[in-house]
Chain A
Amino acid sequence: METISDILKSERQQAWRDELRKSMKAKERTSIPRVKMPEQDPHVRNKNHSEVNLGLTDEMAIKEAQRCLDCVDPTCITGCPVGINIPKFIKRIEQGEFLESAKTLKETNALPAVCGRVCPQEVQCEANCFYVQKLKKDPVAIGFLERFAADYERNSGNISVPGVDNKNGIKVAVIGSGPAGLAVAGDMIKWGYDVTVFEALHEIGGVLKYGIPEFRLPNEIVDVEIDNLKQMGVKFETNFIVGTTATVDDLRKEGFEAFFVGSGAGLPKFMNIPGENYRRIFSSNEYLTRVNLMNAANPDYDTPVFSGKNVAVIGGGNTAMDSVRTSKRLGADRSMIIYRRSIEEMPARVEEVKHAQEEGVEFMNLNSPVEYFADEKGNVNKMLVQKMELGEPDSSGRRRPVPLEGSEYEVKVDTVVVAIGVSPNPLIPASMPELEVTDWGTIKVDKDTMQSSVEGIFAGGDIVRGGATVILAMGDGRKAAKGMHEYLKSKVGKK
């Protein structure tokens, strides 16, 4: 049987790849410096919601693609949760065949324009690039190139719609339209299934829409990718809460034979410190959802969000960076990140931290809030912050934050956003007691098939991982689609 590795090798041996490799010496390729992504000026962009990164030009993309050595053993692919054929799509760019490049991306990734923007490439594909591993140089800008190819295709008007198999008439339900759900839908529709995605909110896209701000991932980009799925035949039902509007059993009666639960992790977590219930202390979920999805940045709307002047965001992840940069765009004079470890330990993407710093966000690392205070109306007006130091490493190897006794000091704030993680959405597990969950409320699944403890119910993304990246969720979705496909094939075979 032909393995993935065999396929990659045979594709690499194709004449056009061989020719391209020979067109330039390896030394010439490695001497090209990594491309710099054109960006909006920090002092301009921190006052608008338009995308920060402007994208590579054709010339820049080709030059960057030339850096790729088209390795015999492309280690970069091992770092990609959805297994994109990275050298192939990059070599198509070098060749100038941008539409072909986009087509390659879509073979394994339903949302390339999204992933090119929000994946933490520095710890995935780019971390495994030959330049990093062997040459100790900056990696090929795989993420930038992915974005370039996907954007080129979109802007060209020649958006390729992947082909689909003949309809087999088997109905499958996808619960949640976030990245995991969209990945399942993309694969299942290709294999001929009748796919319906049920979304609780009024907009399709899940965390891609409500969680990630326009300046990082414009909703329009997500919509184009969703439209692609629609063209392939995927049906979407919005304002439909599985577990409330209809249960899984109700849907079974309607003929759905397999389910994918990708309902995400929408329950915010708090620190549970005194005063955390005061007004204008938001969870990052609420803050970002209101701005991203409900137009709360517009004071003329019904539910505008308060535009604080002194905003503290608690946490050091991507959600914290999104929140603090949003506050800057809403007009804050002082936008602060309050993080209890140092910048090196932050889980946020390196690029997000860099962008936040450039935009004037103040990083108060090694600090943690201990109490909030409010004015007579109950609006938060100051916080007590304690300094921390890094102690002994914990079992993950990261140094533990240790409070410095007596170091507390006050910080004036009028808005606080707490971004310290989320819990899985409990609705589906609560409506299905037979579904096994972990102590954390995440659904237990088989790691290979993503099938839950209930036959025919698969799960992936944040509802399984408790909080992951877009690409990991998509990887889960693709794995679950394969598991579901095998399950349905064997089920049909038994009939």
Chain B
Amino acid sequence: MADLTTKYLGLSLSNPIIIGSSGLCASVDNILDLEKAGAGAVILKSLFEEQIMMEVDASLREAYRNDMIYSAKSESLDYIDLHIRERTLSAYIELIKEAKKRLMIPLIASINCVSSAEWTNYANRLEEAGADALELNIAILPTDENTGADKIEKVYFDIIEKILSKVKIPVAVKMSPCFTNLAQMVKRLSATGINGIVMFNRFYTPDFDINNFSEKSSNTFSAPSESGNVRRWIGIMSSRVDCDLAASTGVHSSEDMIKQLLAGARAVQVVSAIYKNGKEHIQEMLGGLHRWMNEKGYNTIEQFRGKLSQDKNENPSAYERIQFMKYFSEIK
């Protein structure tokens, strides 16, 4: 029987399926169900800096509408953002503590941050609560025309430096694919001392409702077709980086997972497929991986992991091809 275990961020996983940071991992009961269904690890729902700020605004509006909550002269109201952040963080810490009491698989905490402000100070409290590792979901949309690329990139390194100085548990960075020189950025990030990079963040994309002239959200779930770019970059970078790589976005089937492992990923993050097909889908994906490994004669994941990465591929230039030459110019 094939051994599906893998190592990610130095943690031993019973298999490469990690349930990505999402509402699926927002309660202890759900997390325990995911473990029972066969997940190799879980990443808790992210603590969102942006979400906390929205809650602050809602609380302020409510407080000013109803002075029975807070009077305008109250010092508590003056620092309400800190208090809301603390309340959210305390609830998150409780979630980690409760889950850790009952969970056997690794539990990874996740912070979604857009700045290196005081937010990073909370990392060691997540560590103290018992998180096995920390995933930093750094999501910066560069909309400010006055801010240069170097300044934006520096935020990544500042956050990492601060976090690494605070915690001893492994740290992974979930990054965006939008960099002018992605290879260099990935390489530089991997050299900071972090233990893993997750490729890639999937951004919320606004859409329009043309009948009501309003904004609406576009596809909430990923599609398997979105995994191609992730596969490319894992394939290009897996042999060049100083840390583990995990694939995220578009991993819906055992075949998607196998491809990412062949590209060099140590694990895959799955969310949309579980939302669409239920927790039972984990067993289907693991069954598929198992069957494929048996068919190909592999006993362990390490025997084939990275087999099709750029450096081991017979046609390394394929990774760098960006035009469909065969279709458009008949040149293969």
A binds B: yes
Q: Residues of A at under 8 Å CB distance from B? A: 120, 123, 265, 269, 271-274, 315-320, 341, 345, 347, 368, 370-371, 386, 394-396, 400, 403, 405, 419-423, 438-440, 442, 445, 447, 464-469, 472
In the bound complex, do residue B115 and residue A269 qualify as a contact, i.e. CB atoms below 8 Å apart? no
Report the count of interface residues on B (CB-CB < 8 A): 37
B31-69 contact mask (Cβ, 8 Å, vs A): 1 or 0: 000000000000000000000000011101101100111
Q: Residues of B at under 8 Å CB distance from A? A: 56-58, 60-61, 63-64, 67-79, 81-83, 86-87, 89, 115-118, 121-122, 124-125, 155, 158, 166
In the bound complex, do residue B77 and residue A271 qualify as a contact, i.e. CB atoms below 8 Å apart? no
Measured between C-beta atoms, what is the minimum distance from A435 to chain B in Å? 15
Measured between C-beta atoms, what is the minimum distance from A201 to chain B in Å? 21
In the bound complex, do residue B68 and residue A347 qualify as a contact, i.e. CB atoms below 8 Å apart? no
In the bound complex, do residue A442 and residue B69 qualify as a contact, i.e. CB atoms below 8 Å apart? yes
> Tally of A-B residue pairs with Cβ under 8 A?
117
In the bound complex, do residue A273 and residue B121 qualify as a contact, i.e. CB atoms below 8 Å apart? yes
The residue from B76, B122, B125 contacting A466, defined by CB atoms under 8 A apart: B76
In the bound complex, do residue A445 and residue B68 qualify as a contact, i.e. CB atoms below 8 Å apart? yes
With a 10 A CB-CB cut-off, give which of B56, B116, B118 has the most chain A CB atoms. B118
In the bound complex, do residue A395 and residue B60 qualify as a contact, i.e. CB atoms below 8 Å apart? yes
In the bound complex, do residue A317 and residue B75 qualify as a contact, i.e. CB atoms below 8 Å apart? yes
In the bound complex, do residue B71 and residue A269 qualify as a contact, i.e. CB atoms below 8 Å apart? no
In the bound complex, do residue A422 and residue B60 qualify as a contact, i.e. CB atoms below 8 Å apart? no
In the bound complex, do residue A347 and residue B121 qualify as a contact, i.e. CB atoms below 8 Å apart? no
The answer for the CA separation of A345 and B78 in the assembled complex, in Å, is: 9
Query: Can you report 16 A-B residue pairs in the complex whose CB atoms are below 8 A from each other?
Result: A269-B79, A272-B89, A315-B78, A315-B79, A318-B73, A319-B75, A345-B78, A347-B72, A347-B75, A394-B57, A395-B58, A395-B64, A420-B82, A422-B76, A439-B87, A467-B75
A residues within 8 A CB of B86? 269, 272
The residue from A320, A395, A421 contacting B77, defined by CB atoms under 8 A apart: A421
The answer for the CA separation of A41 and B64 in the assembled complex, in Å, is: 39
Measured between C-beta atoms, what is the minimum distance from A420 to chain B in Å? 4
A residues within 8 A CB of B115? 403, 405
Q: Which 10 A-B pairs have the closest CB atoms?
A: A421-B76, A317-B75, A467-B74, A468-B71, A421-B75, A420-B79, A395-B57, A467-B76, A403-B117, A396-B60
The residue from B64, B69, B72 contacting A440, defined by CB atoms under 8 A apart: B69
Describe B's contact surface by its main secondary structure: helix
The residue from B74, B82, B83, B116 contacting A468, defined by CB atoms under 8 A apart: B74
With a 10 A CB-CB cut-off, give which of B69, B72, B74, B117 has the most chain A CB atoms. B74
In the bound complex, do residue B78 and residue A316 qualify as a contact, i.e. CB atoms below 8 Å apart? yes
Given that A272-B86, A371-B121 are contacting pairs, would A469 and B79 also be in contact in the complex, using a CB cutoff of 8 Å?
no
Measured between C-beta atoms, what is the minimum distance from B124 to chain A in Å? 7
Given that A447-B68, A466-B70, A469-B71 are contacting pairs, would A421 and B121 also be in contact in the complex, using a CB cutoff of 8 Å?
no
B residues within 8 A CB of A370? 118, 121
A residues within 8 A CB of B125? 272
Given that A371-B121, A394-B57 are contacting pairs, would A464 and B68 also be in contact in the complex, using a CB cutoff of 8 Å?
yes
**Sample of 8 further A-B pairs with CB below 8 A, known A371-B121, A445-B68, A468-B70:** A269-B76, A315-B75, A317-B73, A347-B73, A347-B74, A395-B60, A465-B69, A472-B67
In the bound complex, do residue B75 and residue A419 qualify as a contact, i.e. CB atoms below 8 Å apart? yes
In the bound complex, do residue B118 and residue A421 qualify as a contact, i.e. CB atoms below 8 Å apart? no
A residues within 8 A CB of B63? 396
Chain B, residue nearest A284 (CB): B75
Chain B, residue nearest A403 (CB): B117
A residues within 8 A CB of B158? 405
The residue from A318, A368, A396 contacting B64, defined by CB atoms under 8 A apart: A396
The answer for the CA separation of A439 and B121 in the assembled complex, in Å, is: 25
In the bound complex, do residue A269 and residue B83 qualify as a contact, i.e. CB atoms below 8 Å apart? yes
The answer for the CA separation of A422 and B68 in the assembled complex, in Å, is: 15
Chain A, residue nearest B79 (CB): A420
In the bound complex, do residue A465 and residue B67 qualify as a contact, i.e. CB atoms below 8 Å apart? yes
In the bound complex, do residue A466 and residue B69 qualify as a contact, i.e. CB atoms below 8 Å apart? yes
In the bound complex, do residue B57 and residue A347 qualify as a contact, i.e. CB atoms below 8 Å apart? no
The answer for the CA separation of A120 and B83 in the assembled complex, in Å, is: 24
Chain B, residue nearest A272 (CB): B86
In the bound complex, do residue B75 and residue A394 qualify as a contact, i.e. CB atoms below 8 Å apart? no
The answer for the CA separation of A370 and B117 in the assembled complex, in Å, is: 9
In the bound complex, do residue A465 and residue B70 qualify as a contact, i.e. CB atoms below 8 Å apart? yes
In the bound complex, do residue A317 and residue B60 qualify as a contact, i.e. CB atoms below 8 Å apart? no
Chain A, residue nearest B58 (CB): A395
The answer for the CA separation of A231 and B62 in the assembled complex, in Å, is: 42
B residues within 8 A CB of A469? 71, 73
Measured between C-beta atoms, what is the minimum distance from A300 to chain B in Å? 32
The answer for the CA separation of A316 and B118 in the assembled complex, in Å, is: 19
